[in-house]
């Protein structure tokens, strides 16, 4: 028995999926997969879970093409993979997509526009950061770990005393839940070897 699946995506945790979910439900999606992640690549938890579930004859519904991908190459590959598996793609603001030359043309145009939009957003963001830095108003991304963070303090202590405590970096990371990259970077900043 074939099913209709929905896929909703927004780029950041602050954005809301509700409008997409409502539109997908109204279009007949019985199961909806969601992501709050960038569309620059297809390595997203919700999307990958959907791709592992959806089967031949099923329909995938999205509100707009850019919800699938904002990268032309990966978007084309994703849609080609769905088509080859016999999965129908219904983009609510465009209609059904198949393997016809017209569908491929429209798909390529829409993915190119999404990729261009993403590039423009990043360009404006960089310009805004440059202006904020020039005006002394840009502080950068807040640091996850401060000198007062107990997990970091513990991790650095264990790291500094590896010779005596016989802890590997892997063990220190597991114990403190401080990422390996952060531990190495902060230890280097503080001159701990």
> Which of the residues are catalytic?
11
Q: Are strands 31-36 and 4-10 parallel, antiparallel or unpaired?
A: parallel
Question: 136-152: b or e for each residue (b if 16 or more CB lie within 10 Å)?
Answer: eeeeeeeeebeeebeeb
Among candidate residues 115, 130, 26, 134, the one with its CA nearest the CA of residue 76? 115
Question: In whole angstroms, what is the distance from residue 102 CA to residue 77 CA?
Answer: 17
Q: Count of CB atoms within 10 A of residue 121's CB?
A: 12
Question: What is the crossing angle of helices 150-160 and 180-189, to 10°?
Answer: 70
> Which strands form 31-36's sheet, in the order they lie side by side?
31-36, 4-10, 59-62, 88-91, 95-97
């Amino acid at each position: 028995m074939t099913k209709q699946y929905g896929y909703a995506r927004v780029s950041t945790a602050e954005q809301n999926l509700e409008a997409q979910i409502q539109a997908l439900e109204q279009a007949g999606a019985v199961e909806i997969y969601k992501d709050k992640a960038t569309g620059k690549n297809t390595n997203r938890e919700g999307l990958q879970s959907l791709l592992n579930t959806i089967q031949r004859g099923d329909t995938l519904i999205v509100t707009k093409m850019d919800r699938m991908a904002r990268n032309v190459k990966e978007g084309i590959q994703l849609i080609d993979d769905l088509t080859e598996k016999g999965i129908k793609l219904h983009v609510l603001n465009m209609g059904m997509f198949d393997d016809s030359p017209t569908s491929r043309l429209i798909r390529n145009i829409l993915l190119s526009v999404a990729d261009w939009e993403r590039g423009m957003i990043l360009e404006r963001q960089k310009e805004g950061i440059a202006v904020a830095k020039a005006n002394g108003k840009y502080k950068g991304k807040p640091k996850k770990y401060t000198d007062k963070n107990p997990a970091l303090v513990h991790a650095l202590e264990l790291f500094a005393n590896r010779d005596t405590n016989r802890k590997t970096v892997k063990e220190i990371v597991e114990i403190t839940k401080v990422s390996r990259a952060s531990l190495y970077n902060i230890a280097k900043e503080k001159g701990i070897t």
